[in-house]
Structure 1
Amino acid sequence: MTPANTLEVGARIKLLRTNQKRTLQEVADSCGLSKSMISKIENDKTIPSVATLVKIAAVLGTSVSSLLEQEGWNKAIVTSRNTAIEKLVKTEKGYMIFPYASEYHDKKMQPFLFVARKGEVIPHQLSHEGEEFVFVVEGSMKMQIGDTEYVLKTGDSLYFNALQKHGIIPISNEVTYIDIFV
């Protein structure tokens, strides 16, 4: 691996992580690495081992080869339902997440599959730049946006400004939903 390729790998990792709205700490914890190590990799201060690249790729829902590839960062991406379900990752807040199209880089939106189970989600609210579109695939949940609470059931959707504090609580035993960040 040449230094030029290393620089691109770090930049690709950072791009994937930030597009997924994930923190350095969250990725570090999921990989079993320190926050400092992930930062060094993203900023090309260290060359990651293959084992480390494997861990990072798995956490970001991509492959090592995708991180290393020079070409094809804007190709069409197909994800089977089984792949999405098999690659769900549990977050520190108790819900499971799968980032669609991780291999498609420099995208304008980031679609996620979320699965949340009653009693497992730690109540919290967050806000960030951009807009979100939520579509409930199966189940039901409460979604708090600012001071307003919405009850969403299978087939319902919600579009909102993500600068407003927001969070979800499952009503059904399990709720599956698509959340698209723009």
Structure 2
Amino acid sequence: MAETIEEIASRVRELRELSKVTAEEMAEYLKVPLETYCCYEEGKTDIPASKLFEIGQRLDVDMNLLLTGEEARMRIFTVTRKGEGVEVERRRQYRYQNLAGKFLSKKAEFFTVTIDPMKEKPTAYSHPGQEFDYVLEGSLKFYIHDHEIILDEGDSILFDSSYRHAMEAKNGRPAKMLVVVI
């Protein structure tokens, strides 16, 4: 199931208003200009996954609610069958699939992310916490803070995600990785 930018933006706006948080407060919390945040809520600009994660934390809601409009309900376990995770396109070169959206009170977010090759260097971003990435297919160049690291299939990296980071598929082919955001 793929959710549209407009559907997600509408849920973010509604949940923010229900939580009595102003757009100005949210923009300040996310460390983005108010104009950028307003574009997020209007569906004019795609909300980066890292910012969705932060919005969920600020509003004290599970990311699945932001992505799908459905509350997480599973307490003991949840199974996501191949190809059935909620798909989210956050940036042109990244395609996310949420792998555990239905589990209640998660301590982390779990995704597969497919990175398409691009001609230009990817935009770096940051978010609170830590991130673990395991390369499932292909080869990636990671940009983290002042470092560039090549990771191939089977390689992994754990890092402080408050540092700006980005990934770039190498060799003209898409790459796929398992991502855990803590």
Unaligned runs of at least 5 residues, structure 1: 1-26, 46-56
% identical aligned pairs: 23
Q: How many residues align?
A: 136
Alignment match, 2:81: 80
Alignment match, 2:174: 174
| Cα separation, 2, equivalents of 1:33 and 1:103 | 18
Tell me whether 1:44 sits opposite 2:18 in the alignment.
yes
When residues 43 and 121 of structure 1 are mapped into structure 2, their CA distance, relative to the original with a 3 A threshold, is farther
| Cα separation, 1, equivalents of 2:111 and 2:134 | 11
Q: Give 1:140 shift.
A: 0.5
How high is the TM-score relative to the length of structure 2?
A: 0.63
| Cα separation, 1, equivalents of 2:82 and 2:6 | 28
**Alignment RMSD:** 3.0
Alignment match, 2:138: 139
Specify the structure having the higher radius of gyration (Cα): 1
Unaligned runs of at least 5 residues, structure 2: 20-63
1:83 counterpart SS class: coil
| Cα separation, 2, equivalents of 1:154 and 1:98 | 19
Tell me whether 1:149 sits opposite 2:157 in the alignment.
no
In the alignment, is the contact (CA less than 8 A) between 1:94 and 1:120 conserved in 2?
no
In the alignment, is the contact (CA less than 8 A) between 1:97 and 1:113 conserved in 2?
yes
Q: Give 1:163 shift.
A: 1.2
Alignment match, 2:26: none
How high is the TM-score relative to the length of structure 1?
A: 0.63
Matches within 5 A, 1:8-47: 30-33=4-7, 35=9, 38-44=12-18
